[in-house]
Amino acid sequence: MGIAACSLAFVLGGVILVSAPASAQQKVLTVGAATFPSSLQTGVASFTSESLILQTYDPLVMRDNEGNFVPALAESWESKSDTVWRFHLRKGVKWHDGKEFTAEDVKFTIDRVIDPQTAYGYLGRIGQVNGATVVDPYTVDISTKAVFPILSKGLADIAIEAKHYYDEVGVEVPKRKPMGTGPFIAVNWVPGDRYELTANKNYWRGAPKVDKLVIRQIPEAATRIAALISGEVQIIEEVPVDVIAEIESSKRARVISIPTSAAMVLTYDTRRPPFDNPKVREALDYAVDKEVIRNEILKGKGEILQGQLLTARTFGYNPNVKARPFDPAKAKQLLKEANFDFSKPVAIMTQSGKYLSDVDISNAVAGMLRNVDIQANVSVVESAVYLKQWSALEMGPIYMVGWYSLNDADFATIWYTEGAKRSVWKNAEYEKLFVEARSTNDQATRDKAYQRMMEIMHAENPSMFLFGIPSVYAASNKVKNFGAAADKILRLEAVSID
């Protein structure tokens, strides 16, 4: 290596030329992303995919960085009956090719999404929809199979696509060259490397403040940070919490974070001993010092879940339910009452890198459980193995999972119902309340039902509720108006560079 470095210095010293920026006037914003989707096809159910998709497309209703729902391609909407919603579309919105956006495009998109052959990953967001009807060019009715109170929220993940574009180019071209109504226009997509876009000067919310946008995939966090500090990129995603100090001490960039709606929990196999015993589950909740984990591992970012699945800003959150305090003595006493032999090891299954500091947090929890004489250890598995075991509902005694509620309790609470086949805990009242909340468009009734469900979860502990995971970005000091997004979707049209 010594030779390599010396020769490198020698070669570079002689011939190095730093390439000049292509054009001094052009403002180029470059973002370093941790992960890239494989393609630009719509409906791939991941936030990394949706983050790129929504650079070129708009949904009917959109979330802002804080997770509030605001009108996008639909200006307003109202229910016509329990199962029909009427959406009034924004007039004068143009596709990137200059043609006008109309209700036909909405109908085309909805039909495409609900066709099982499309394998649209986000279909579940609007799972109850059974079709759309064009009323006039700027009005569309969307009908649902049953009452579906979360329709407008679910639509935030459905990118509206252009009927005429699919008619012209077929279904393959848009996967590489998407054409939408969004703030940026796709120019060049190189899988695994970069996505280049140019500003849509006619964007209906106002033209972006930069001329060009380049989103680069830089999988290694250390390289991402180096690229930010060297000025190659101006914004980076997924900043590991242990390097926050390093970035801030560079004086060239700052860290921006926001709590997400994702709840990190450890779920128990409640079918089998010892976790079929509610007392044992409660004991474990007392045994883990969440405050210490948050301060030491998450460096104070994110929030401690208050003894319930929902994060504090989510619709349905119950402010009266509080997290149990750290009390190992009480934990030991409850375990003694449960009278189970804990000498056998208990595995905590987790993926590595799926959620922020997942393995570190699992290890910390295991260590704290060992302090109350539970022989806990951590088993790290690869994602496909994890998913396969999950589908079979055989995850072992404890496993780590994150549930996004996207600011409505429905999205997360469903995973504890029997029908969803994602957890093994059963509770008749919880089931009843879930159906009740889903069968009405009355928000007050829904809120009440969810709050009661949170009380049940707190009493029953189907999972150990740990943290609302933070979403951590870093931006160069030259960047203005960039905000961290609770749903991890890059919103860049307002961002400017000095």
Partner 1 sequence: MLKFTLRRLAYVPVSLLFVSAVLFTVLRLTGNPIDTYLDINRTDEQVAALTKRLHLDQSLPVQFLIYLKDVLSGDFGQSLQFGEPAIHVVLERAGASIQLVTAALLIAAIIGILAGMACAVFKDKLPDFLISTLAVAAQSMPSFWLGILLIQFFAVQLRWLPTSGRGGWENLVLPAFTLAAYLLPNIILITRTSMLETLREQFVVTAIAKGLSGRQVLFRHALPNALNPIISFIGLQIGRLMGGAIITETIFAWPGIGRLMIGSIFQRDVPVVIAGVLIVSVVIVVANLAVDILLSINDPRIRLD
Binding interface with partner 1 (CB under 8 A)? 1-5, 7-8, 12, 16, 18-19, 38-39, 41, 44-45, 116-117, 119-125, 127, 172, 175-176, 190-194, 216-220, 222-223, 226-227, 229-232, 382-385, 387-388, 390-391, 415, 422
Residue 383 or 443: the one with the smaller Cβ distance to partner 1 is 383
Whichever of 34 and 147 has its CB closer to partner 1, that residue is 34
The CB-of-482 to partner 1 minimum distance in angstroms stands at 20
Residue nearer to partner 1 on the CB measure, 196 or 327: 196
SS3 labels along the chain: CHHHHHHHHHHHHHHCCCCCCCCCCCCEEEEEECCCCCCCCCCCCCHHHHHHHHHHCCCCEEECCCCCEEECCEEEEEEEECCEEEEEECCCCECCCCCECCHHHHHHHHHHHHCHHHCCHHHHHHCCEEEEEEEECCEEEEEECCCCCCHHHHHHHCCCCCHHHHHHHCCCHHHCCCCCCCCEEEEEEECCCEEEEEECCCCCCCCCCCCEEEEEECCCHHHHHHHHHCCCCCEECCCCHHHHHHHHHCCCEEEEEEEEEEEEEEEECCCCCCCCCHHHHHHHHHHCCHHHHHHHCCCCCCEECCCCCCCCCCECCCCCCCCCCCCHHHHHHHHHHHCCCCCCCEEEEECCCCCCCHHHHHHHHHHHHHHCCCCEEEEECCHHHHHHHHHCCCCCCEEEEEEECCCEHHHHHHHHCCCCCCCCCCCHHHHHHHHHHHCCCCHHHHHHHHHHHHHHHHHHCCEEEEEEEEEEEEEECCEECCCCCCCCCCCCCCCEEC
CB of 266 to partner 1, least distance (A): 18
The residue (of 329 and 387) whose beta carbon lies closer to partner 1 is: 387
- Shortest distance (Å) from residue 166 CB to partner 1: 14
Q: How far is the CB of 215 from partner 1 (least distance, A)?
A: 11
- The nearer residue to partner 1, 2 or 92, going by C-beta atoms, is 2
User: Closest separation between CB of residue 108 and partner 1, Å?
Assistant: 19
Beta bridge partners of 377: 347
CB of 11 to partner 1, least distance (A): 8
Q: Which lies closer to partner 1 via its Cβ, residue 423 or residue 451?
A: 423
Long-range Cβ contacts of 6-12 (<8 Å, 24+ apart) = none
Measured from the CB atom, is 60 or 228 closer to partner 1? Answer: 228
The C-alpha angle 479, 482, 483, rounded to 5 degrees, equals 150
To partner 1, the closest distance from the beta carbon of 374 in angstroms equals 29
Can you tell me the distance from the alpha carbon of 134 to that of 111, in angstroms, rounded to the nearest whole number? Answer: 12
Report in angstroms how near the CB of residue 475 gets to partner 1 at its nearest. Answer: 17
Q: Pick the closer one to partner 1 by CB: 252 or 279.
A: 252
CB of 322 to partner 1, least distance (A): 29
Least gap, CB of 150 to partner 1 (angstroms): 12
Query: How, if at all, do strands 479-480 and 496-497 pair?
Result: antiparallel
Shorter beta-carbon distance to partner 1: residue 201 or 421: 421
CB nearer partner 1, residue 41 or residue 451: 41
Q: Are the C-beta atoms of residues 53 and 42 closer than 8 Å to each other?
A: yes
Q: Least separation, in Å, of the C-beta of 3 and partner 1?
A: 6
Q: Toward partner 1, which CB reaches closer, 118 or 139?
A: 118
